[in-house]
Amino acid sequence: MAFAMFLEKILRICVLSIWGFFSSFSINWGTPIDLSSRGENAEQFCIATNNSLEALAVWIRSEASNNIIEAASLNGYWNSPVELSDRKNTAELPQVALNESGIGFAIWSEFNGIYYFIKVSRYDGNSWEKAETLTRTKALTSHPQISLNDSGDGVAVWEIIGNTDTIQASVYRESNSKRKKWSSPVIISAGENAFNPKVKMSNEEIAIAIWEELDSSCSSIQSAVFIKNKWSDTETLSLEGCDSKNPEIAMDYSGEGIAIWESTNENSLNVIQTARFTFKNRGSKHGWNPAENLSDNREDSGRGQIALNDFGYAVAIWEHYEGANTVLKAATCAGEIWSSPETISYVSEKITSANVKINPENIAVTIWQAYNGYNWVIESNTHSGGWEGIQVLSISEKNAYEPKVAINEKTTSAIWKYFDGSHSVIQTSMGQLN
């Protein structure tokens, strides 16, 4: 079974690489539309999509005294937003995930005036279920993250802030019909100053969590793996002696993953590093490969992002600082060897908030916020055998910020916020893959 999956990956990469070399490709982006209501501020948004052309988006809507989590679903058209959080409390930091069966989860942190706690709501394909509270202790919580696989199983991680900052996790079992489906939270970090967790889950019921951890001398990137129904001991991914931060993780359906982060080198420059998690034969052989540099050791880089599809094709992007300007660089990987980095944004602009996703056909879409000398606009570039060229998505007369993107086999969806003169509004655009 493992060999058949590996062979399928290799054949698909070869076929799609040849197809991409000889074909031309473009994305026809639609006219942006508003998702949130005007007259109130909308912030902290996230989007997810699947190959059935469904999508979920979440954000916070700011009222006079508190923040409300809102969600909208796409199934042919965007439905009106619904509220997920308790109106008596204030909520923040929403995240969303969606699988190929149309099942989704939203997770966020909610404050009742005394404590922050983690809440989650399940989307059953048509409507949102009543939110559940995952945290069991009265403590401050932050940075919730969630992922689920195509069977409907999921994993959530978050940060507990106290005398010692720790990472907690809970696992959701769709098959648990007679007992509570979310497991009791467990601490998966080992140190005393752990924060900024990220997590992904595969169809093989493997989950990888990564986070930053600070000790007396430097910060490092740590990981724990959920395999065979339990969490592993923590493992250090970053190189010893380097200050490392901003981890991200991507995973394929079989349980293999790639982590990316930035580390400070001996010249006090930030370098993008990556490590690969390999999984074979349902856990008999698995583990992290040594970390390697993606960016040039002589360049100052940061804010790396990673995308990986189910056939082993990966795209990494990061910011590269060139004097007054910041450009976006990218590298691709079809196996184990990364390509040489390429600049994929305009060298005359300053970019930030870059995001990348990839579909099963090895088509990757990147999106970022760029200052063109007049306004902040949302720009995009697409990779299909090569980088196709830069497109502007947002309305140029309006400042637009903090884009996110999702992609499936036929469409891609982007989301960002813009300022209408009085309030920030969530806006979206859908692109057709041609």
Q: Output the CA torsion 6→9→12→15 (10° steps).
A: -80
Encode pLDDT of 197-222 as tens digits. Answer: 999 999 988 999 999 999 877 899 99
% of residues, the chain, pLDDT over 70 = 92
- CA dist 156 and 118 (Å) reads 10
Provide the token pair at 175.
């098959």
Strand partners of residue 417: 401, 426
What pTM, to 2 d.p., does this model score?
Answer: 0.92
**Rounded to 5 degrees, what are φ and ψ at 281?**
55, 45
Q: In the predicted model, is pLDDT for residue 14 greater than 60?
A: no
**Whether the predicted pLDDT of 19 surpasses 50:** no
Alpha carbons 247 and 52: distance in angstroms, whole number? 30
Strands (E) located in 51-206: 54-62, 67-75, 82-83, 90-98, 104-111, 116-123, 132-133, 140-148, 154-161, 166-172, 186-187, 194-201
Within a 10 A sphere around the Cβ of 379, how many other Cβ atoms? Answer: 24
Residue 63 to residue 72: CA distance in whole angstroms: 18
Tokens found for residue 275: 């490590």
Give CA–CA dist 247/261, Å, rounded: 4
pLDDT value of residue 197? 98
For residue 177, what pLDDT band results from cuts at 50, 70 and 90? low
